[in-house]
Amino acid sequence: MRYLPLTPEDRKSMLQTIGAKSVDDFYADVPEAARLGGKVEGLPDHQGELAAERHMAALAGKNRTASEGRFFVGCGAYKHHVPASVDHIIQRSEFLTTYTPYQPEIAQGTLQTLFEFQSQVAALTAMDVANASMYDGSTACAEAALMACRVTRRKRVVLSGGLHPHYAAATRTVCEAQGIEVVQLPPAVDDELALKDAVTDKTACVIGQSPNVFGTVTDLSPVSEAAHADGALLVSVFTETVSLGMVTPPGEMGADIAVGEGQSIGNALNFGGPYVGLFATNQKHVRSMPGRLCGETVDADGQRGFVLTLSTREQHIRRDKATSNICTNAGLCTLAFTAHMTLLGDKGLTQLAELNHEAACALADALEGVDGVEILTPRFFNEFAFRVPGNAEAVLAQLDELGVIGGVRASRLFPGKKMDDVIITCATECTTEDDIKAYADALREVL
């Protein structure tokens, strides 16, 4: 039995009211090539619940998790150890049963957690203030570009050649829909000079990344100086939060806005999500910041309490006055981030970062010892790019057959950019000496 709440007459009346000929009119802006011409091939019209469960279980069984074998993939999503205590904390009933904390008198636990999260992100990035999270790192980057345009009242955004292509694509989609010019610099392992030279008096912001998608750790201070000299802002992006335990944070490099991905802390890979976007800025720009902000106050009895201090999303105020059209945040992922960061503390984060860097250095040394391999990244944290003799896609496929997931081919991220022989690989605290030896031996066999 199917439940169809609308009759054909109901639908016809609704379409007439809004002036549409058919439901297909709603998809006029979707390119024809992106639309299905009929049913999804291979899917039955309907199945019983038991049959559907068996089918989905069979599909899920084809997946391979990051823990099954040697795993060296990074590029914006990282395999880190998440303590069992984090999972226990986020499943406590007071967190599982709460939703949006509009009523502070019954949501103090959630509000305090968000306040602690903001404090942690501000400290990590060396910025004045952080919001109560965003969807993920890529949409946070896009929101940062829009914010910079609001602050400077300009409509030109410059993207680094080392910015993760997914972040660049999200930013381009959001900006160009609002008439903002987006200048994308060519892919480059290290493009600090090019990014600095691309700034003009028409630029709203330059968006740089450190460590960038090739793993290069870059001092963005000269870029910040060049941007500020022309009245533009610097948006500093990071995809690996653990790196902030070692590298210079965005605020100390003169960033006006810092955005990134928080998945590394408290959140497993989960086959691609959900993740959590981090967003921080300077105090003077706080009212232009998207999302919402939790603040500390006192109640009528003088007791400490927490409230939503700023909430400038379109669901709360008029759309034309809103700083963001994103109407949710990654609350559970935020909670996991805060729990894990609290357990780590400042010293723990530094030690974790050191373990990551040591593992990456050991991996680089081992791979460089393989004939024909050339390490391309000059300064890295826990991931780097290297060149192989031959086709990277073929090399990775053969490594896979030997039980090693060797990384991400650069040509997948930058198609048509003559990077067919480049692999981006990563090592974390989860990478063992045996893993590294197995990778080097397998690569030597393949090459």
Q: Which residues make beta-bridge pairs with 409? A: 423
415 domain residue, yes or no:
yes
Question: Which among 316, 298, 315 is positioned nearest to 307, based on CA atoms?
Answer: 298
Q: What is the pLDDT of residue 313?
A: 59
pLDDT of residue 1: 45
How far apart (Å, rounded) are the C-alpha atoms in residues 322 and 311?
9
Query: Whole-angstrom Cα distance, residue 130 to residue 285?
Result: 11
Q: Same domain for 431 and 313? A: no
Last residue of a domain, one of 341, 369, 392: 341
Residues 268 and 417 in one domain: no
Q: Is residue 48 part of a domain?
A: no
Q: Clarify whether residues 156 and 248 are in a common domain.
A: yes
The Cα 340–Cα 85 span in angstroms is 8
Q: Which residue has the tokens 């086959």?
A: 271
Identify the three-state secondary structure at position 260.
Answer: strand
User: Do 225 and 98 reside in the same domain of the chain?
Assistant: yes
pTM of the model: 0.89
From residue 170, alpha-carbon distances to 105, 146, 148, 203 in Å are 37, 12, 16, 19
Residue 220 within any structural domain of the chain: yes
Q: What is the CATH number of the domain that holds 391?
A: 3.90.1150.10
Query: Which residues have a Cβ under 8 Å from the Cβ of 315 and sit 6 or more positions away?
Result: 327
Q: What total of structural domains would you count in the chain?
A: 2
Last residue of a domain, one of 315, 341, 367: 341
Collapsing DSSP states into helix, strand and coil, what is residue 279? Answer: strand
Residue 74 near residue 424, CB atoms below 8 Å: yes
90: nearest Cα among 68, 113, 108, 115: 113
Query: Which of 272, 242, 289, 323 lies closest to 131, judged by CA?
Result: 289
Shared-domain flag, residues 337 and 365: no
Is 56 among the domain residues? no
Comparing C-alpha atoms, which of 242, 312, 254 is closest to residue 278? 242
Partnered with residue 324 across adjacent β-strands are 313
For 250, half-sphere exposure in the C-beta direction (CA atoms, 13 angstrom radius) is 35
Distance CA 29, CA 317 (A): 27
Q: Does residue 310 lie in a domain region?
A: yes
DSSP, res 249:
P
pLDDT on residue 428: 98
Q: Are residues 181 and 311 in the same domain?
A: yes
CATH number at residue 263: 3.40.640.10
Last residue of a domain, one of 341, 356, 391: 341
Residue 230 is encoded by which pair of tokens? Answer: 């022309």
β-pair partners for 216: 380
* 171: in domain: yes
Residues 103 and 166 in one domain: yes
Range of the domain at 366: 70-80+346-446
Residues 284 and 350 in one domain: no
Instruction: Report the distance separating Cα 45 and Cα 47, nearest Å.
Output: 7
- List CB contacts of 220: < 8 A, sequence separation 6 or more: 192, 208, 210, 234, 236, 250, 253, 254, 255
C-alpha Rg value of the chain to the nearest Å: 24
Same domain? 300 vs 367: no
pLDDT at residue 206 in the model: 97
| CA distances in angstroms from 191 to 148, 196, 204, listed in the order given | 21, 9, 19
- Cα gap 117→285, rounded to integer Å: 19
- CA 301, CA 237: separation in Å to the nearest integer? 42
The answer to whether residue 333 sits within a structural domain is yes
Q: Mention every residue, 6+ apart, whose C-beta is less than 8 A from residue 386.
A: 364, 367, 368, 373, 374, 375, 376, 377, 422, 423, 425
- Of the candidates 151, 363, 395, 100, the residue with the CA atom closest to the CA atom of residue 257: 151
Are 163 and 244 within one domain? yes
Is the domain of 293 the same as that of 396? no
* pLDDT at site 317: 64
336 part of a folded domain: yes
Average confidence (pLDDT) per 10 residues, the chain, 447 residues: 77 94 90 86 82 92 91 97 95 74 80 94 98 92 96 97 97 94 96 90 97 97 97 98 98 98 96 94 94 90 90 63 69 94 97 98 98 97 97 98 97 94 98 98 97
Q: Are residues 161 and 276 in the same domain?
A: yes
Question: CB–CB of 286/301 below 8 Å?
Answer: no
